[in-house]
């Protein structure tokens, strides 16, 4: 269990680092992996929601051709 928690903590840390560097795709990958391993992780859920909003804004033409 400790190994799983440390892996999740590491993924969240990496996701936040990528987010702060505006590397939204890599950040999303990290947070989605957290949710794959721990679906109820609220921190990852919040970042995925935030990143979806950001990506939707920057890729408006992709979502609304």
Confidence of residue 42 (pLDDT cuts 50, 70, 90): very high
Name the burial class of residue 21, with classes exposed (0-12), middle (13-18) and buried (19+) by CB atoms within 10 angstroms of its CB. Answer: exposed
Other beta carbons within 10 angstroms of residue 14's beta carbon come to 17
Between 63 and 56, the more confident residue is 56
Give pLDDT, residue 17. 98
Give pLDDT, residue 56. 78
- pLDDT, one tens digit per residue, over 10-39 is 999 999 999 999 999 999 999 999 999 999
Average model confidence (pLDDT) across the chain: 88
Helices (H), 1-65: 2-20, 24-37, 42-58, 60-63
Give pLDDT, residue 47. 97
Handedness of CA 63, 17, 7, 41 (dihedral sign): negative
What pTM did the predictor assign?
Answer: 0.82
Name the burial class of residue 1, with classes exposed (0-12), middle (13-18) and buried (19+) by CB atoms within 10 angstroms of its CB. Answer: exposed
């Amino acid at each position: 269990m400790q190994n799983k928690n440390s892996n999740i903590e590491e993924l969240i840390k990496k996701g936040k680092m990528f987010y702060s560097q505006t590397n939204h795709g890599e950040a999303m990958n990290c947070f989605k992996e957290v949710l794959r391993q721990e679906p109820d992780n609220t921190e990852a859920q919040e970042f995925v929601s935030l990143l979806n909003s950001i990506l939707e804004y920057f890729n408006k033409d992709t979502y609304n051709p």
